[in-house]
Structure 1
Amino acid sequence: MIMSPLEGPGPDICLASGFFPREKLMTLTGESQSRKILDTRNASLFKSSKTYYYAGFTQGEIQTCEMDGKTQTKNKMEEKVTNPLPVVPVSSVQMPCPINSSGLLLRGNGNPKANTISLLFTGLRVLLAKCVGVNVLLTVKALLV
């Protein structure tokens, strides 16, 4: 798959996904038919499928990307959507739990400060329980000696 930057200048990227074994060669062909051959020895392993992923890039645009006899060509035409999906306003979507921008579930009606205070009090309760437990054990030991 060849990906280009959405805005501004930047290199194109060729993403090879789901291949095995790790040692392969990726060939990138640029606008002036210049070829660049990349080694995929440092590809990342996707543990659940036990396959590798590799992102190859070069300065400028990539016209074709080839690996294992499979070739991907960059489409210059804009895609035309024949049956667009209906746009649902965000305000009408019901969220089951309040979620902040980092994706964490919030407590206290979605208030980050209330979430922090709740975490602090839980930590203090655990600390108090440990202190009481140690004091009880030391008292029992002192009485038995």
Structure 2
Amino acid sequence: MRPYHCDPLIFGNPIKLTVTPSDPSPVEPNLFVLSPLLPEGWLGRAPDTLGPDVCLATDFRPQAGEMLLNVASGSVSLNTSSAVLSPKQNKYFFAGFSNETIYSCEMQKTSSNNDVDRCADLHPEKARLNFYLLVMNGVRVLFTKTLAFNTILTIRAVLFYTSPVEPNLFVLSPLLPEERPGPDVCLATGFRPQGGQMVLKVQNSSDTRSTGGAALSLKEKTYFFAGFSSERIDSCELHKTVAQRKEPDLSHCKKPDDSIPPSPPAETDKDCGDLRPEKARLNFYLLVMNGVRVLFTKTLAFNTILTIRAVLF
């Protein structure tokens, strides 16, 4: 038995639907000749091997028309009847492709040239803005390093130059006081801070000396001070450290020969004391810190100016 079979039947002619914009007035197109992005190693290659070129026509009316592509082998004509309609703008868009390099394209008395600047890809439009951003990043790095260096110097100055150190005290007397009388001395070495009071015990009384004029040791960063007294010093005290007087051993001392005249003091052309100030190294560190602070201020101001310029311009 033959199975049931049904063939489709078509009546009448097919219906073709055409959508046209409500505004039929003609509009000239915007033409753009586009080339493919240059791949790595494009130098030395033939332009026709880089990929298809495109002539893009936008925002035009009416749909029907001819696009003329000018290539090396001649002119190629393309029909724009298949252009796509933009419902929002009521205008058409069309793209014409060619495997050859498109030098120019024309449509509705409008033309566009393929003026490709090869250096434009190597140097983008915002090169100057990128340069300013790079400078700003460099300034920020410099600012960070300056701030870190300033912090390190400040911490070093606070920790190593201000921590207290107990003094070493010595009570000294002149040799042969009967023949060469002179003042007794209380010598304090290797102490910090500079300010303080040295108490000299003389007979039944006490004498006080301020250590504000103590000399700074550039190598050890500690102070030295000598307290003099015309009376006999029995003991001295500084920063809760006490030293007692010790009588010197004079058994090995010889009486000087008065027949030999003393040697005259050597003459010097100039006093070198001013060339090496007491706090030269400390002053150097303070000068460096001030210089770093000035550099930090200038860096911050320059960074602010560049930021404002990048935002406004």
In which range does the TM-score fall when normalised by the shorter chain? 0.5 to 0.7
TM-score (norm 2): 0.26
Partner of 2:115: 75
Letter of the 1:56 counterpart: G
Which 10-residue stretch deviates more, 76-85 or 22-31? 76-85
Partner of 1:27: 68
Q: 1:41 aligns with which of 73, 81, 90?
A: 81
Whole-Å separation in 2 of the counterparts to 1:46 and 1:15: 15
Partner of 1:14: 55
Q: Alpha-carbon deviation of 1:36? A: 0.5
Equivalenced residues, count? 88
- Equivalent residue runs for 1:39-118 within 5 Å: 39-78=79-118, 79=120, 84=127, 86-87=129-130
Letter of the 1:55 counterpart: A
Q: Which deviations, in whole Å up to 9, do the C-alpha atoms of 1:5-52 show, x marking residues without a partner?
A: 1044211000000001100110001024x1100000111111111000
Q: Which deviations, in whole Å up to 9, do the C-alpha atoms of 1:114-137 show, x marking residues without a partner?
A: xxxxxxxxxxxxxxxxxxxxxxxx
Match of 1:52, SS state, is strand
**What percentage of aligned pairs have identical amino acids?**
30
Q: 1:5 aligns with which of 25, 36, 40?
A: 36
Q: Specify every segment of 5 or more residues in structure 1 that has no aligned partner in the other structure, as ranges.
A: 89-145
Q: Which deviations, in whole Å up to 9, do the C-alpha atoms of 1:95-132 show, x marking residues without a partner?
A: xxxxxxxxxxxxxxxxxxxxxxxxxxxxxxxxxxxxxx
Instruction: Kindly indicate whether structure 1 or structure 2 has the higher relative contact order, using CA contacts under 8 Å at least 6 residues apart.
Output: 1
Q: Specify every segment of 5 or more residues in structure 2 that has no aligned partner in the other structure, as ranges.
A: 1-31, 40-49, 134-313
Whole-Å separation in 2 of the counterparts to 1:49 and 1:35: 31
The structure with the largest alpha-carbon Rg is: 2
1:82–1:10: structure 2 CA closer, same or farther, 3 Å change rule?
closer
Match of 1:86, SS state, is helix
Q: Alpha-carbon deviation of 1:65? A: 0.5
Root-mean-square deviation (CA, aligned residues, Å) is 2.4
Whole-Å separation in 2 of the counterparts to 1:23 and 1:37: 13
